[in-house]
């Protein structure tokens, strides 16, 4: 995997790196498999090819990603472009070590560098740990989507 280490102090033995553009798809696909979420390969490739695409990875002491965040420009809730978090994932064995918070800080930094006025993301309703992380990082709900199954 091709990473560029960032000039940031290590945290709890982890280093932050930017994933090389040629390797972004591989890291994103691994993350989707790791968190066992379905993926739409065509949509992933479309977003990854966008010039604003950025993937950061928190690397363990073996140089493998322990957590990652995938960022790109998105259309905000109010029609203005925003920084958008397409995916944040921390491998189970590395959770509760501050990596999610650190990755969220990277999103803030990236969005500021890009000149976005806000960052948005989607979160699954029952994902309480993620919702807690986002809320403690200052995110607020701006819309709620609900669904009801009907028998056929």
- pLDDT tens-place string over residues 111-132: 999 999 999 998 877 778 888 8
pLDDT band at 30 (very low <50, low <70, confident <90, very high): confident
Q: In the predicted model, what is the mean pLDDT of the chain?
A: 86
Three-state DSSP at 150 gives coil
Query: What is the C-alpha to C-alpha distance for residues 69 and 117, in angstroms, rounded to an integer?
Result: 19
Q: Show Cβ contacts of residue 55 under 8 Å, excluding neighbours closer than 6 positions.
A: 18, 19, 24, 27, 28, 68, 69, 70, 71
Q: What is the pLDDT of residues 39-79, one digit of tens each?
A: 677 777 777 777 788 999 999 989 999 999 999 998 877 77
Three-state DSSP at 126 gives coil
pLDDT band at 145 (very low <50, low <70, confident <90, very high): confident
- According to DSSP, the β-strands at 81-90 and 54-59 are unpaired
Alpha-carbon separation of residue 47 from 19, 70, 87, 118, 137 (angstroms): 15, 10, 12, 19, 25
- Domains of the chain by residue range: 3-136
Three-state DSSP at 59 gives strand
Homologous superfamily of 3-136 in CATH? Gcn5-related N-acetyltransferase (GNAT) (3.40.630.30)
pLDDT band at 90 (very low <50, low <70, confident <90, very high): very high
């Amino acid at each position: 995997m091709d990473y560029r280490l960032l000039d940031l102090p290590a945290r709890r033995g982890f280093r932050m790196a930017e994933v090389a553009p040629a390797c972004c798809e591989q890291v994103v696909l691994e993350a989707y498999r790791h968190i066992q979420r379905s993926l739409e390969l065509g949509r992933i490739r479309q977003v990854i090819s966008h010039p604003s695409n950025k993937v950061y990875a928190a690397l363990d002491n073996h140089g493998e990603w322990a957590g990652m965040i995938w960022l790109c420009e998105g259309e905000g809730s109010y029609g203005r472009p925003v920084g958008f978090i397409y995916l944040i994932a921390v491998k189970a064995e590395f959770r509760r070590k501050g990596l999610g918070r650190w990755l969220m800080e990277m999103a803030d930094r990236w969005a500021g560098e890009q000149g976005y006025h806000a960052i948005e993301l989607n979160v699954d309703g029952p994902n309480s740990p993620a919702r807690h992380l986002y809320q403690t990082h200052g995110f607020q709900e701006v819309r709620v989507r609900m669904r009801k199954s009907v028998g056929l």
